[in-house]
Amino acid sequence: MSSIDASGNAKTVIGGHKSRTSALLLLLHMRTFVALILVFAFFAIAAPNFLTTGNMLIISKHVALNAILAIGMTFVIIAGGIDLSVGSIVGLCAMVAGYLVLYGIDLGFIGVAYSVQFNTIEICLIVLVVGIFIGWINGMLITKLNVAPFIATLGILYVARGSALLFSDGRTFPNLAGNSEYGSDTFRIIGSGTFFGLPVSVWIMVVVALGAAYLATRTPLGRHIYAVGGNERGAALSGVNVDRTKLFVYMFSGVCAALVGLIISSQLQASHPATGETFELNAIAAAVLGGTSMSGGRGRIAGTIVGAFVIGILADGLIMMGVSSFWQTVIKGLVIIAAVVVDQVQQKLQARVVLQQNAN
């Protein structure tokens, strides 16, 4: 830091103390990553077969689902909100995808005895639009009607889940193999195809993550998201369009959920209306574990991805070790709390270091 360099004497006085503090700070800063390495190393030793390629692929497929949701969630939380509806959007989007693959759209309701069939790309686009639309409803409720984000998205959680059940009357859409005649037989690739040896769903996660990280750090919109979460009034008076920014994060979260709905229905070759229940909680957990502050304004996409991996590896590793799923739940909870406690320690330490540097 320039001031330290400029005043060498201050550096020598507290030099020893400082380097220890900054080493600790660096360690705390990387804590999620350190946790990931520890968890990984632990299971590599404790669980046989953990390190096999097959297992790694399975874990990464699991992680991809939560990570994609968590990326959308991270933006929402950074902007000072919360999105409880993502799990239900996953379910509804899975049902829409299943319906379109199986039946297309029957034009009977406008008196035409004909049903429109779609190819895979069209199905994906429609499902993504459904996700964006539900996110837009969330955003409109929050910005235009001033409903608290918790309540608005809780309401949409129920509405979307109920709609998913209504879609099939609670039944599962089975056998989503698609139809080569309509070009929808490629639907299965989204969930079970591979590309350069990695599952397509993992590639989707990588693309979404890179796009989101770029958005967060290298675009005015990304900066506005942080500003709105840090001080909404201050941002507004600086000319940031607060409503538009909030609307965007909920729509982005909606499209992330739609992607997950597509992946799951394709992976299982079936859609069930209960798909995605409690997914929102895992997404929040990954974001928080990755250092996203629930009070807004702070968080990084890379942190969220690492957080999602910690949760995913912990869950799958414990299963491989034969730990009861009841204990898994307890352990997951403890890890999240520990992460937040460490985060508080880091914030305090960091503030002190900055004060020190200013004093010098």
Residues lying near other proteins in the complex (CB under 8 A) = 1-4, 10, 14, 217-224, 226-227, 230-231, 233-241, 297-298, 351-352, 354-360
**In this complex, which beta carbon is closest to other proteins, that of residue 14 or of residue 154?**
14
What residues have CB less than 8 Å from 51, skipping those under 6 apart? Answer: 44
Q: In angstroms, rounded to a whole number, what is the distance separating the alpha carbons of residues 94 and 191?
A: 12
> Which two tokens mark 275?
């798909």
**In this complex, which beta carbon is closest to other proteins, that of residue 71 or of residue 225?**
225
**In this complex, which beta carbon is closest to other proteins, that of residue 232 or of residue 316?**
232
**In this complex, which beta carbon is closest to other proteins, that of residue 89 or of residue 216?**
216
**In this complex, which beta carbon is closest to other proteins, that of residue 155 or of residue 230?**
230
Q: How far is the CB of 238 from other proteins (least distance, A)?
A: 4
Residue 239 burial (C-beta neighbours within 10 Å; 0-12, 13-18, 19+): exposed
Q: How far is the CB of 218 from other proteins (least distance, A)?
A: 5
Q: In angstroms, rounded to a whole number, what is the distance separating the alpha carbons of residues 207 and 214?
A: 11
Q: How far is the CB of 25 from other proteins (least distance, A)?
A: 13
Q: In angstroms, rounded to a whole number, what is the distance separating the alpha carbons of residues 282 and 90?
A: 13
Q: How far is the CB of 233 from other proteins (least distance, A)?
A: 5
Amino acid at 106: D
Q: How far is the CB of 307 from other proteins (least distance, A)?
A: 20
Q: How far is the CB of 333 from other proteins (least distance, A)?
A: 27
Residue 266 burial (C-beta neighbours within 10 Å; 0-12, 13-18, 19+): buried
Q: Which helix (H) or strand (E) holds 105?
A: strand 105-106
Q: In angstroms, rounded to a whole number, what is the distance separating the alpha carbons of residues 4 and 359?
A: 10
**In this complex, which beta carbon is closest to other proteins, that of residue 39 or of residue 215?**
215
